[in-house]
Each structure stands twice: as C-alpha cells, then as structure tokens.
Structure 1
C-alpha cells in the first residue's frame, strides 16, 4: 500500500518538495497530496534574482545554503523541464556607491569565481558598458557583471512545478489546512492521517503548528513590487541590476520591468498595495532611469515573507517528531534557498533517512519550541 505523504504550502519550498517527491518516487510507493490556498504567498508575488555570491551577509550557514541553492537550479530546471518564461540565466550587475568599495568587491568576486562554478565569470563594467547592456537606463552606475546570475518569475515558476508534480500523480487541493491535537490534518473532508508531512506555510506556520502546541518564531514582512512597461521592442535577455541600498531592477522579455521589493516590517499580513510603496519603488528606479513615469506602471504585487530573528532559513524535523518536516524563515532569499530545501526534505522522505544539514541550518528547535 502506498505511503501517504502531505505537503502543506505550495510556495517555493512546498512546490519543489511536491515535484521531487513525485520525481524521485520511481517505484510509485508514495501517495502525495499538496494543500495550499495561495493566499499571500510570497513566491507568487515575487520576481526574484538568483545571485547570492556578492551579498553583504556574512552568515556562513546562509551563504553555504544560498551558494548550493544557486548551483542546484541547473538540476531543477532540467528535471522539471522549466522554460525561459520561468527561469532565465541572463547575468546580474551588482553595484556599490563608492568606487573603492566596488573595486574591493571585484577583488572578492575574482576570488569566489575561482572556486564557484555557478558564477561562471565576473567582469568589471563601466557605467557606459552597463548602459550598453541595459539601454533603458539614463544614469547607469558602474558595476560587476556576474554571468551565472539568473532571474525568476515566481508565479510562472510555481505553476510550472505544480503542473509537473500533478502530471507525476500529485493531488493538489486548494484549501488551507492545519493539524488537530493528535497530528491528523484537518481538511474540508474531515481529519486525515499521513505517514509523513512537510510543512512549508511561510509566515502562517505559527497557525499550522499551534494545535500541536508548538510556538514558531517567525514574523511576517510585507513585500511589494511594481511592474512597468519599458518598451515593446526591448531586446531579450537583459541582465538584472542589483544597486546598493536601492530597489532591484529586473527586466523581462517583452518590455516588462519589475522593480522591488519593499521590506515592510510593520506590514504584517496586509496584502493591500499602497501608493507610498509604489512611489518609493518608482523613485528608486528613476535614480537610474529618469524617463520612467507612473503611467508606465501596469500593476503592483504584494506578498508576505517569513523572517526569523537571525534572518536565517531553517529546515529539518519537528522537535520530537521525525515524521513532520519543516522548512521556513526564508526571508528575501527564498527563491534562492527554497528549492534546495524542498529537494532535501523530499529526498529524505523518499530515502527514509534524515540528512545531516548542520552546514546549512541551525537545529529546528532554535526556531520552533
């Protein structure tokens, strides 16, 4: 009889986990159900950047996870047969305001690229060279081009993964669920017991685990992005601009430009777009592209990220219950770190063996008590 496995949450961790549970289950020994209602999901609201190597963050576990997460994408894209509308490796341009800081960063980049194959190559670009690569800019900064950097359309990415998972036999139920006191999942059809469960409900994890008397130490952070039309004739394959202390600018094929995202710690679970955030994001973009105007904005997307006190993701099994696995606290690096977490959790269920993940994360008991 097939072993029943549930994935709660269809964001970047949950969707990847559901896909790999079905992909790795070559003997069809698992009956996999994914529960998700999609409300406030950070991934679907996001357009993200896969380029962690020159981050200012100095958390060694986070960097190991982000570095391996970026490298993992080549496997995921091949396994799930993802198209360029979901994932596109066009390179990233990272800037620093001060010339000496940019030169120091370039020295760091040269050291890292020597032992980080996923970076592929790095190149110092003058402001004129940046303008050649991003022609819609009117005031381009100098920067460092990282060839291996990539960009993702979060909503398309999730839809593709879930579609592949369903083709492999995963059952998708569009509903929000929680546990009851005995560990069964409360569904609209009544309580249901599963032999293994992956919980990846982001900042809603508190409510998911509350019936089991666990306290999850995550907090919500609101994030908003704006979509603009730059030019119907904009050439394809433009790189991402990651300016220091300002909003990222992510150009997509077809003349679409995404700017963001905000980091609103007081925004909580509010999913309403605000004119203040729209003005801030447009103002940040106009620092480098002064011809942009509000009438080019085609939409605002809003999501809620989950953050931990030390800004680090966590994953592993629920304290005292190895059959319930967790992954969360991704913060703003979720599109980089989420897929590899989903893969590792899925693989541990398929292999009947928990992995040694100490190089990537502290114990779950640091975040769930």
Structure 2
C-alpha cells in the first residue's frame, strides 16, 4: 500500500484525492488549510475555445480539460448547481471582430465536438436568453460552454474521496524533507507527496532547496440579488468584451467577476475598489443593478507564472514529490486534467510535452 500525501485541497488536490481513492494500492491523506483558495473565488466558466491566447500548449490542456471535467461531473453525478453546460456567449463590439470570432468557433468545432451548437446572436436574441441584459451587444453562443461552482465541486469530490477511505486534515503543514510532512503535532512519512497548493508551493519547497517562479494574484468577485425570470437557473454565461464575466446562477442570483490583481499578493481582504469596479462593469451590462443588490463577496489567490502557463510533474532529481502550479484564471478548466495527469505519473514515465514546457522552466535548485 503506497502512502500518498496531497497538500492543497483546491480543484487539483481534490480531484487527485478522488481519482487515487478509487484505485487499489493507495492510502491518501489530503492536507488543506482552507484559506485563500483560488477555487472558492473563481467565477467558474468552462469555455476555453474562443480564447485570445496564442499558447497552443495551454489551449490543448484547456480544451482537453473542459472535456475531462464534463466526464468527471457525469461520473460523480454532480447537480446542475455544481456543474451545468449552460452555454456561453462571447461578445465583440466590432462587426469584423465578431466575424473572425464566429469563424474561429466553426474552425475549432471541427476538432472539438463538445463545443456543440454555434450561433451568432443579435442584441434581441441575447436579450431573449438573458433578460437581465440591457446593453447593446452582439456575440457568439457556444452551447457546450459550462459554468461550475468550484466550492461545491471540490466539496463533492472530497466527500467521495473520504467515502473511499481518504483522510482529510484541515491545517497548514510544511515539508520537513521530500517524504515527511510536518503537522502541528507530529511528522508523517509518505511514499509520494503531491504539492497542489497554488502560489504556496514556493514556501513548501523552500526547505528542499528549490525556488519556484510562480506568483500570487488576488481575485475578487461579487454575488448580486437580481429579479428572477423563467429558466434563470439554466441561463448562459455572458463573457462581454472588455468587461467582467456576467453569470446568472438561478433564484435571482448573479455573479460578477473576477478581478486580476498582482500587487496585493496574499491579501484576502475584500476591497471597496474591487466592489466599485465589479458593480460598474455589471451596470454596463444591466443598467438596473444597484450597489445595494450585494449578497456576498469572495476573495482568493491564484498562482501564475511569468508566461502565464501552468506546469506539473516530478520535482527535478526527485522521485518522491510531484508538483503543480501556475494555473492562473483557468484553474477550474485545467485543474482536474492536471490532477489526472499527475496521478498517471505515479505509474507512467511521461512529461506530457504537448501540454506544457519542461518543468525546470519554472523551478530550480537554489545555488
């Protein structure tokens, strides 16, 4: 029986725990300090196919990740409140840019069937699907796009993992060496340790003599109370050009977000500046929104690299530590697949070069 430690209970760690808990021969213990998770503060949109990014490795990871997370949601019987293929609407202000977006959608649909139906929508058609929207918008609808409640998704996976025998410890831990996790009261030894702690990997790897070029990014979003309308629980997600994502989630609730702030680093205080920015963006989509409509706020810390690419794999020159980080704002899309690939590395020798650069691009031994 191989003893596996997972440090970090966000989307990557929770998925890894669930996947390993189903396999014979593994005893899984997950450690999570439960603060600052990017997963809990993410807007939760699974629709990478029309991204402006030119990084083909990232696109392959995100596109395949969208497919895997749909499989995972179906396999585990997740509710529509947790994962829903609601469709996404991506807008462009310039008609020629909208033409190019529609052409890109049809081009990529040829190799990605799960994108589903592609439609060009007028202002009236957007209004029919999203009655809250008062802005003059035109866009492209992708029926295979989805929304996900990261907090619910993780909770469901951890519950299933525990039912399969995994242990969950809620505390901050450190690495004493490459096989020893130091808790508040004792040291625990494992055969393999998976580091899935986002921007916290730098602190965790410091005792082993490694430096990681990964940076924290603060993300803030808001939830607003809005008028209900028929089928609002199944409304598509609006991804308006130059604005924050606009996500009705049913029962008169609307999520707006999220911000991308590099300076505050690990600060988890919700700010007035973010609130004003998010509300203003929401009001440009729906002129009937007021600041008094606020229901809740969320704050989390993402991890990003200098080239905005995720990385994962074995720690160089080490056979006991697997690490993943740098998922950035696409963590809910790429995280489950990253977890799956990490778990396969326990039995297969592969670098998954189609999805990422060499891991030594992002971490190295201190001199």
Q: Secondary structure at the match of 1:44?
A: helix
Could you say which residue in structure 1 is the equivalent of 2:260? 263
Using the TM superposition, give the Cα deviation of residue 20 of structure 1 relative to its aligned residue in structure 2, in angstroms: 0.4
Could you say which residue in structure 2 is the equivalent of 1:33? 29
Find the aligned partners of 1:232 and 1:123 in 2 and give their Cα distance: 25
Question: CA 1:362–1:114 in structure 2 vs 1: closer, same or farther (change >3 Å)?
Answer: same
Contact 1:247 1:259 in 2 (8 A): yes
Could you say which residue in structure 2 is the equivalent of 1:4? 3
Find the aligned partners of 1:115 and 1:159 in 2 and give their Cα distance: 33
Of 280, 293, 296, which residue of structure 1 is paired with 2:277?
A: 280
Q: Secondary structure at the match of 1:101?
A: helix
Q: How does 1:1-369 map to 2 (within 5 A)?
A: 2-23=1-22, 25=23, 28-181=24-177, 183-233=179-229, 235=231, 236-349=233-346, 352-369=347-364
Find the aligned partners of 2:286 and 2:349 in 1 and give their Cα distance: 49
| TM-score, length of structure 2 as denominator length | 0.97
CA deviation string 1:69-125 (max 9, x = no partner): 011122211222211111011100001121110111101111111221110121100
Using the TM superposition, give the Cα deviation of residue 234 of structure 1 relative to its aligned residue in structure 2, in angstroms: 5.1
CA deviation string 1:262-311 (max 9, x = no partner): 00111210000011110111101111100000111111100000010000
Q: Secondary structure at the match of 2:320?
A: strand
Contact 2:178 2:193 in 1 (8 A): no
Contact 1:93 1:241 in 2 (8 A): yes
Aligned length: 363
Contact 2:29 2:167 in 1 (8 A): yes
Unmatched segments (≥5 aa) in structure 1: none
Find the aligned partners of 1:328 and 1:251 in 2 and give their Cα distance: 29
Using the TM superposition, give the Cα deviation of residue 233 of structure 1 relative to its aligned residue in structure 2, in angstroms: 4.4
Q: Secondary structure at the match of 2:128?
A: helix
Q: Secondary structure at the match of 2:216?
A: strand
Q: Secondary structure at the match of 1:287?
A: helix
Q: Secondary structure at the match of 1:64?
A: helix
Contact 1:234 1:253 in 2 (8 A): no
- TM superposition outliers: structure 1 runs of 4+ over 6 Å: none
Find the aligned partners of 2:178 and 2:276 in 1 and give their Cα distance: 49
Unmatched segments (≥5 aa) in structure 2: none
Find the aligned partners of 2:178 and 2:279 in 1 and give their Cα distance: 50
Find the aligned partners of 2:292 and 2:316 in 1 and give their Cα distance: 51
Find the aligned partners of 1:233 and 1:243 in 2 and give their Cα distance: 21
Question: CA 1:308–1:87 in structure 2 vs 1: closer, same or farther (change >3 Å)?
Answer: same
Moved more, 185-194 or 308-317: 185-194
